[in-house]
Chain A
Amino acid sequence: DARVTQTPRHKVTEMGQEVTMRCQPILGHNTVFWYRQTMMQGLELLAYFRNRAPLDDSGMPKDRFSAEMPDATLATLKIQPSEPRDSAVYFCASGTDRGRRETQYFGPGTRLLVL
């Protein structure tokens, strides 16, 4: 049963520290998405990749957030420096771009708390 995996599942850090979240997409998927979930804003798209190339990161605060795909099996989302307002659950999802019937599959999320 193929699944998207994310690490760490939980992270508590202090303001100003760097945070790195990792995602392993489902093997064979060529699109990867990062979403953030907060009580106030709900689910927001932060960035996404197709064939490891960033296509859209307009939802991401550019000054502190960065997203990369070093290889096809790893996507990373970094926050430097972190702030309390970054506290949220960060989800990674993967899919394919073979057509309109394709689905995005979500990982379990990284719950981030910035003190």
Chain B
Amino acid sequence: GDSVTQMEGPVTLSEEAFLTINCTYTATGYPSLFWYVQYPGEGLQLLLKATKADDKGSNKGFEATYRKETTSFHLEKGSVQVSDSAVYFCALTDSGGGADGLTFGKGTHLIIQP
């Protein structure tokens, strides 16, 4: 079956540091890939997505590139802020984001210190 593996953390960085959160996946089909973010006490919000190989998703300074050859979708940001502190989930779906359930990684807790 499908699966997503990501570093669980917590990952602690100083403000303005460079961020990378690794995510790799296994899937039987041609998945769409997502990063969701969860702030304390809230639901999940879509951060970015990519639906085919070599696509780059980007939003709020975050980027991730769909790498089929390495089955990866690593999340990056050049300069993090305290407000980026949250839990980040990598996820996939095998047939369109709205049509089938998402398979999630365990989540990475990110802590940004001033």
User: Are A91 and B99 closer than 8 Å at their CB atoms?
Assistant: no
Number of interface residues of A (CB under 8 A): 29
Chain A residue nearest in CB terms to B49: A103
Q: Given A43-B89, A102-B96, A103-B49, A91–B43 Cβ distance below 8 Å?
A: yes
Q: Which stretch of B16-24, B67-75, B76-84, B104-112 is in the interface?
A: B104-112
A31 on interface, CB distance cutoff 8 Å: yes
User: Are B106 and A108 closer than 8 Å at their CB atoms?
Assistant: no
B44, B52, B89, B100: the one within 8 Å of A48 (CB): B100
Q: Given A42-B105, A43-B89, A97–B98 Cβ distance below 8 Å?
A: yes
User: Are A100 and B32 closer than 8 Å at their CB atoms?
Assistant: yes
Closest 8 CB pairs of A and B: A95-B98, A102-B98, A45-B101, A97-B99, A106-B43, A43-B104, A100-B96, A106-B44
A contact set with B: CB distance below 8 Å: 4, 29, 31, 33, 35, 42-43, 45, 48, 50, 56, 59, 91, 93, 95-109
